[in-house]
Amino acid sequence: SDLRIAVLGLGMMGAFHVELLTSAIKGATVTVVNDFVADKAEAVAARIGARVVADPIAAINDPEVDAVLLATPGSTHFEQVSACLDAGKPVLCEKPLTTDVATSYALVEAEAALGRPLVQVGFMRRYDTEYVALKELIVGGGLGRVLQLHCTHRNPAVPDHFNSEFMIRDSVVHEVDVTRFLLDSEITSVQVLAGAATEAAPEGTHDPMLVVFETAAGQLVTDEIFVRSGVAYEVRTEAVGERGSALIGLDQHLTLKSTDGRWGGLITPGFVERFGAAYRVELQRWVDAAGRGTIDGPGVWDGYAAVAVCEAGVEAVRSGQRVPVRLGERPAPAAHGVTR
Ligand code: ISE
């Protein structure tokens, strides 16, 4: 029988997940929906034949819910993920895990105390075929020892509330996870260079920025974050090793057309075109794992580490200094999340 899912938060991401769950994912039924805007919840529920439960904690604890998808604001995640752990229900939590290091670490400890991984964090790039191929190349030794990563992360446009801090916590967080995923090493420091800003940026917002991570193995990672490029959704990563380099995200699998001896093509306009397939794989694997009472992807430790790096990144924007990242102790393997 289908896994019965509660979707909490029906903004852009929540609505996107509901759409996928009801159209593309096997073995799942959305039985309960929740949003702090009552009309929105009612409209979605009516369309897909689900029930509205107005209180988020009651939605999690509802007897007709086996697993929970959280697309609520980050500030509500600590309480909601805690409720999922208390109820013993698998949860897929959109980033960020929580909004500060202390509460994220509290969730690491709570899951460890429970003794089985239930918390998965929505870092969807780990399911993108290109990132998976790059990881396999690296793990297989195809590049030799990897020394540097160079990441580009551009959005065509964003709302005004994307200030420098938000850009770190909401956008750069993806490269934080990509770095940890590809290099299997923790990030130990963050530095941010804020140069000339686009005239599209509101006063005081540094857009673009150049972010530099250092890993425990001494590898350097650069990330150009530019969320008002005015052009397209461009996400590229190049890994540079002792025996070669590899770049992903260049043609983004769209058709390149040759004319007049030149090459060119389309750039993905948004995240749906770039990562839609990855979201679908992420969700299907999570549904399958949740049916077995577990997770299949980045776990609570990955969510915690990302929050810790982003917090250091925000301080690095303010201070202009290289800011160290110090992580708490990682619980024993049997207790922490499955990392892919
Ligand atoms: C947003 O939250 C995302 O997750 C997108 O993938 C990213 O490109 C964007 O910059 C973020 O703000």
pLDDT of residue 332: 85
CA–centroid distance, 37 to ligand 1, in Å, is 23
pLDDT of residue 319: 97
Place 336 in a pLDDT band, splitting at 50, 70 and 90. Answer: very low
Measured from the Cα of 271, ligand 1's closest atom is 6
Is residue 269, in this structure, part of any structural domain at all? yes
One domain for residues 289 and 256 = no
One-letter amino acid of 252: Q
One domain for residues 141 and 26 = no
- Domain that residue 194 falls in: 125-274+306-324
* CATH number, domain with residue 60: 3.40.50.720
pLDDT of residue 251: 63
Read off the pLDDT of each residue in 142-150 and give the average, rounded to a whole number: 97
CA–centroid distance, 171 to ligand 1, in Å, is 5
User: Which residue is closest in CA terms to ligand 1's atom 7?
Assistant: 171
**Angle at alpha carbon of residue 102, lines to 100 and 108, rounded to 5°:** 105
Beta bridge partners of 60: none
Task: Sort 260 into a burial class: Cβ within 10 Å, 0-12 / 13-18 / 19+.
Answer: exposed
Buried b / exposed e over 266-278, threshold 16 CB at 10 Å, is: ebbeebebbbebb
pLDDT of residue 260: 58
CA atoms within 13 A on the CB side of 43: 9
Is residue 339, in this structure, part of any structural domain at all? no
One domain for residues 268 and 140 = yes
CA–centroid distance, 243 to ligand 1, in Å, is 32
**Angle at alpha carbon of residue 94, lines to 233 and 88, rounded to 5°:** 160
Read off the pLDDT of each residue in 215-234 and give the average, rounded to a whole number: 96
Mean pLDDT taken over the chain = 94
Mutate-to-test residue for ligand 1 from 125, 128, 155, highest number of ligand atoms within 8 A of CB:
155
One domain for residues 151 and 259 = yes
CA–centroid distance, 59 to ligand 1, in Å, is 27
CA–centroid distance, 81 to ligand 1, in Å, is 22
pLDDT of residue 170: 96
Is residue 222, in this structure, part of any structural domain at all? yes
pLDDT tens column, 4-32: 999 999 999 999 999 999 999 999 999 99
Q: Which residues contact 58 (CB under 8 A, 6 or more apart)?
A: none
CA distance 77 to 260: 53
* Contact residues of ligand 1, CB 6 A cut-off: 155, 170-171, 174, 227, 271
pLDDT tens column, 244-300: 999 999 865 544 444 556 556 667 889 999 999 999 999 999 999 999 999 999 999
**Contact by Cβ (8 Å): 141, 114:** no
One domain for residues 71 and 162 = no
Q: Write down the pTM of the prediction.
A: 0.94
Q: What is the DSSP letter of 105?
A: H
Is residue 330, in this structure, part of any structural domain at all? no
Kindly tell me if the per-residue pLDDT of 212 is higher than 50.
Answer: yes
One domain for residues 136 and 242 = yes
User: Which residue is closest in CA terms to ligand 1's atom 3?
Assistant: 171
pLDDT of residue 340: 43
Q: In this predicted model, which residue has the larger pLDDT, 337 or 50?
A: 50
pLDDT of residue 254: 47
Q: What is the DSSP letter of 226?
A: E
Q: In this predicted model, which residue has the larger pLDDT, 1 or 251?
A: 1
Kindly tell me if the per-residue pLDDT of 150 is higher than 70.
Answer: yes
pLDDT tens column, 170-179: 999 999 999 9
CA–centroid distance, 153 to ligand 1, in Å, is 9
* Residues of the chain above pLDDT 70, percent: 93
Question: Strand (E) positions, 94-232?
Answer: 119-121, 146-154, 187-193, 209-215, 220-226
* CATH number, domain with residue 174: 3.30.360.10
One-letter amino acid of 294: T
Measured from the Cα of 275, ligand 1's closest atom is 6
Kindly tell me if the per-residue pLDDT of 153 is higher than 60.
Answer: yes
Mutate-to-test residue for ligand 1 from 131, 163, 171, 176, highest number of ligand atoms within 8 A of CB:
171
Q: How far is CA 192 from CA 79, 156, 183, 185, in A?
A: 31, 21, 20, 20
**Spatial strand order in the sheet of 234-241:** 244-248, 234-241, 146-154, 220-226, 209-215, 187-193, 323-324
Mutate-to-test residue for ligand 1 from 128, 174, 310, highest number of ligand atoms within 8 A of CB:
174
Measured from the Cα of 162, ligand 1's closest atom is 12
One domain for residues 134 and 261 = yes
pLDDT of residue 21: 98
**Contact by Cβ (8 Å): 175, 221:** yes
User: Which residue is closest in CA terms to ligand 1's atom 2?
Assistant: 170
One domain for residues 114 and 155 = no
Secondary structure (3-state) at 69: strand
Is residue 335, in this structure, part of any structural domain at all? no
Is residue 169, in this structure, part of any structural domain at all? yes
One domain for residues 10 and 70 = yes
Mutate-to-test residue for ligand 1 from 227, 271, 273, highest number of ligand atoms within 8 A of CB:
271
**Count of domains forming the chain:** 2
- Provide the CA 293 distance to its chain's centre, in angstroms: 22
One domain for residues 102 and 162 = no
Kindly tell me if the per-residue pLDDT of 337 is higher than 90.
Answer: no
Is residue 337, in this structure, part of any structural domain at all? no
Is residue 329, in this structure, part of any structural domain at all? no
CA distance 268 to 331: 40
Answer whether the bond into residue 208 is a cis peptide, omega within 30°. yes
Read off the pLDDT of each residue in 216-244 and give the average, rounded to a whole number: 96
CA distance 80 to 193: 35
CA–centroid distance, 115 to ligand 1, in Å, is 32
**Angle at alpha carbon of residue 56, lines to 52 and 57, rounded to 5°:** 125
One domain for residues 153 and 77 = no
One domain for residues 314 and 165 = yes
